[in-house]
Chain A
Amino acid sequence: MTQPTDQQQAAAGIPRSQAEAVNAAETRELYKKREPIYPKLAHGKFRLAKWAVMAITLGVYYLVPFLRWDRGEGAPDQAVLIDFAGSRFYFFFIEIWPQEIYYVTGLLIIAALGLFLASALFGRVWCGYACPQTVWTDLFIMVERLFEGDRNARIKLDRAGWTVDKAWRKVGKHAVWLLIAFATGGAWILYFHDAWDTLANFFAGTAAPSSYVFAGVLTFTTYALAGTMREQVCTYMCPWPRIQAAMTDREALNVTYRVDRGEPRGAHKKNDSWDNRGDCIDCKQCVAVCPMGIDIRDGAQLECIQCALCIDACDDIMAKVDRPTGLITYETDDNIDRFVAGEKPRYRFMRPRTLVYAVTLAIVSSVMLAGLVMRTELDLNSQRDRNPNYVRLSDGSVRNGYSLTVINKATTPRVLQLAIDGDAAFQTRVLGAPADAPGQLSVGADTTQDFVIYLTLPRAEIDGPREEFRFRVTDPATGESASTRSVLITGAD
């Protein structure tokens, strides 16, 4: 690379950037050492949007653990909490038990479908704006810019020998990076224990060892992925760019260079006509701002995360040379072909692909919502003893043992009434039930309680190898009821 000189003008007053697309398909080798990329700061509406998304996503990530939500006595008051010790997941008014992990499955399906739909409509918007790798890399580049200046200054600094000035800039940058990385790893653990307690314990050295391990690991990964690995994560580690190929199509809006307008490219001299030439003055500003080290004018590429910063850079230049903006823009492959053929663009957001995604998304969301609305706070499981399978008593009657698990998801204790729904005349004994109320089961708030139950079938009532029935518990206070199917084995033929 050489220093930019005044001789290399792309247009009047616009120097041609010396930026090279280090990751362009033509120059890239399979085993090449990483070439550093020095993205230049872009200005424009997409850069603004990215700052906004960064502020929102990071704000959510760092601050949500501190939000409070009153759940009453004894329950944690953190709005979003993944409580492994208590095996509960709290999300504002929602509380999920481990056996309800299917809600998380549903959430993941919704996230995946949302991603598919977004990809079918707008390409890699997730990669370009909201992916944590993009957001934190953006933040780290911002810090880098604060300490070392913009693109050219950074290149100069890296080439220069070690001086005190260079040293403090480098040390300062890495220190702030580590600080951000630590805040990132530190915020992670706040989602798993009470945030304020964890914060106090962490610095007092009394937090759980796992807290230090996870904070440490995520500090390291944040620092390494956003600070030093950057675009390599997207290109080599992340599977999403590969999945992209199946998710996007020729009618999706992607960040695209309009070849129909741009070519033939070349430097433009002042007062020259714009006829018979393209609008692209080959100033390479789009390459200079690219955090992935590619040239968008080479067309759709695996590396492109569609951050749209090249749009901002190009629009800037187009305004300066007094040409219409949008030489690089969100456009579909089909429309580029139409432009080349001199036709009008057409946009089709309602396509079989997007409709299938949207309908599936709506169905899954509805099922999730219905499940959440119809979620019961009383549940029942039974397990019949199999060792021994049945017990024959001295008078010839048969007894089976059961463990009955009552699940009370309510925040208040319950006194439930046990009943046996079935034809046969069972004699019921519940260990621990009061003598004067033999079917009465007391269950604490927000917990499960196991009961040992013995059912005896008198000899005269035995008329087959098995008797089917249901355990049923009813809460007289609320009218809620739950039941579960079971069977009594008689040992008879």
Chain B
Amino acid sequence: MSEHEEKRETDAHSGTETTGHEWDGIKELDTPLPRWWLYVFYACIAWAVVYWVFMPAWPALPGLAGETDHTRGLRDHSERANVALALDALAAERADGFAALEGASITEIENDPELLGFVFAAGEAVFGDNCATCHGTGAQGFVGYPNLNDDIWLWGGSYDEIRTTLTVGIRAEHPDTRFSQMPAFGRDELLTRSEIADAADYVLSLSGGEADSDAIARGGVIYDAQCASCHMADGSGDRAQGAPSLVDQDWLYGGSREQVMASIHRGPYGVMPAWDGRLDEATIDAMAAYVFLLGGGEDASERPTGQ
């Protein structure tokens, strides 16, 4: 301790030295740091030195760090490499499940509790990443986006058909994409407004809707001329063309008279991207099986034909 420090004033009440600073008679005590705090502080400094040696620490020392832009440390630790390793490990862990899925029928998947669990886990994740934006997280759908839980399928509800639809998409940029187009009867002035109203009355009557019988009769004539080629004479629809059934209780674009008229007016043109090329085959398998097992799939024993 220097001569100067020894002369510092000691506070009578606490017995602690003051710093010599004084403001309006208020003096500052120079309370020493607690011993344990100081030791922890020294230990931290020592730890930092150890850390420099073992872990990546110093950035951008030209010539010293070789090809990298920082010191590597003895452990050659890299979070990026660790993430890559973890992803590889994850893929390896999942490989068995995806391999078992390949070529399996839904019946086989169902009868293997492990594979079933895998499909629900993997399928739900893939669905959430890629499908939920339009179809909803529970696949419940919205107006214009089909509910995938029910038993209504525009392009077919077998495992193979679902898988194909996912692969090529609907009205998508894929050479084999599912394609059909309903004319915009109103916008393109193929039908007058009153003709569209009559057609709507007729279509609604197919599933039990009530309307003026004259209007239904007039609508029937229009239907046979304009609609029956795709939606079939009895309104049962045609999956080969993605033409929905008009006799069931489900309306993709809404079931009120106004909504049906609007659909006839503009000709719906729903689009789903093709997942071929975006997702690998195994992932599409899991996604298709998951959608199938949401409850509406048809013919569980059928195998996917693959690509």
Residues in chain A within 8 A of chain B (CB atoms): 385-388, 391-396, 399, 401, 429, 431-432, 434-435, 442, 449-450, 452, 454
Contacts and interface: CB of A to CB of B under 8 A. Distances in A.
Interface in B267-299: 293, 295-296
B258 interface: no
A387 B137 CA distance: 7
B110 A432 contact: yes
B209 to A, nearest CB: 14
Interface string B89-124: 000000000000000000100111100110010000
Contacts of A429: 295
Given A399-B150, A399-B295, 13 more contacts: A387-B137, A388-B139, A388-B140, A388-B147, A391-B149, A391-B150, A391-B295, A392-B249, A393-B151, A393-B152, A394-B150, A395-B249, A452-B116
B138 interface: yes
21 contacts: A388-B138, A388-B149, A392-B250, A393-B296, A394-B245, A394-B249, A394-B250, A395-B249, A396-B249, A399-B149, A399-B295, A401-B149, A429-B295, A431-B116, A432-B111, A432-B113, A434-B111, A442-B113, A452-B120, A452-B293, A454-B295
Contacts of B210: none
B248 interface: yes
Nearest to B120: A452
A6 to B, nearest CB: 43
B204 to A, nearest CB: 15
A387 B140 contact: yes
Contacts of B107: 435
Nearest to A444: B113
Given A387-B138, A452-B120, A394 B113 contact: no
Interface in B142-188: 147, 149-152
Given A388-B140, A401-B295, A431-B293, A395 B248 contact: yes
Contacts of B250: 392, 394
Contacts of B113: 432, 442, 449
Nearest to B293: A431
B110 A431 contact: yes
A396 to B, nearest CB: 5
B137 to A, nearest CB: 6
Contacts of B110: 431-432
Contacts of B151: 393-394
A213 to B, nearest CB: 18
Interface residues of B, number: 25
Nearest to A396: B249
Closest 7 CB pairs of A and B: A387-B138, A388-B140, A394-B248, A391-B149, A396-B249, A388-B138, A432-B110
A459 to B, nearest CB: 8
A473 to B, nearest CB: 16
Nearest to B295: A454
Interface of B: 107, 110-113, 116-117, 120, 136-140, 147, 149-152, 245, 248-250, 293, 295-296
A409 B295 CA distance: 30
B138 A392 contact: no
Given A401-B295, A449-B113, A391 B249 contact: no
Contacts, number: 58
Contacts of A391: 140, 147, 149-150, 295-296
Contacts of B137: 387
A435 B111 CA distance: 9
A433 to B, nearest CB: 8
A449 B112 CA distance: 13
Nearest to A399: B295
B243 to A, nearest CB: 15
Contacts of A392: 150, 249-250
Nearest to A434: B111
Contacts of A401: 149, 295
A392 to B, nearest CB: 7
B8 to A, nearest CB: 24
A434 B147 CA distance: 28
B125 to A, nearest CB: 16
Contacts of A394: 150-152, 245, 248-250
A323 to B, nearest CB: 51
Contacts of A454: 295
Nearest to A449: B113
A391 B296 CA distance: 10
A435 to B, nearest CB: 8
A412 B252 CA distance: 50
B156 to A, nearest CB: 14
A394 B152 CA distance: 6
> Which of A386, A387, A442 has the largest number of chain B CB atoms within 10 A?
A387
A181 to B, nearest CB: 22
A386 B149 CA distance: 12
A242 B116 CA distance: 58
Contacts of A395: 248-249
Contacts of B140: 387-388, 391
Residue of A392, A399, A449 with most partner-chain B CB within 10 A: A392
A69 to B, nearest CB: 31
A384 to B, nearest CB: 12
Contacts of B245: 394
Nearest to A387: B138
A452 B149 CA distance: 14
Contacts of A399: 149-150, 295
Nearest to A431: B110
Nearest to A391: B149
A435 B295 CA distance: 16
Contacts of B293: 431, 452
Contacts of B152: 393-394
Nearest to B112: A432
A449 B113 CA distance: 9
Instruction: Count chain B CB atoms within 10 A of each CB in A392, A394, A434 and give the residue with the most.
Output: A394
A402 B122 CA distance: 19
Of B113, B140, B147, B248, most A-chain CB atoms within 10 Å: B113
Contacts of A388: 136, 138-140, 147, 149
A385 B116 contact: no
Contacts of A449: 113
Contacts of A396: 249
A432 B293 CA distance: 11
Contacts of A387: 136-138, 140
A418 to B, nearest CB: 15
A396 B255 CA distance: 14
A172 to B, nearest CB: 28
Given A391-B295, A454-B295, A432 B116 contact: yes
Contacts of B111: 432, 434
Tell which of B136, B147, B150 has the most Cβ of chain A within 10 Å.
B150
A449 B116 CA distance: 12
B128 to A, nearest CB: 11
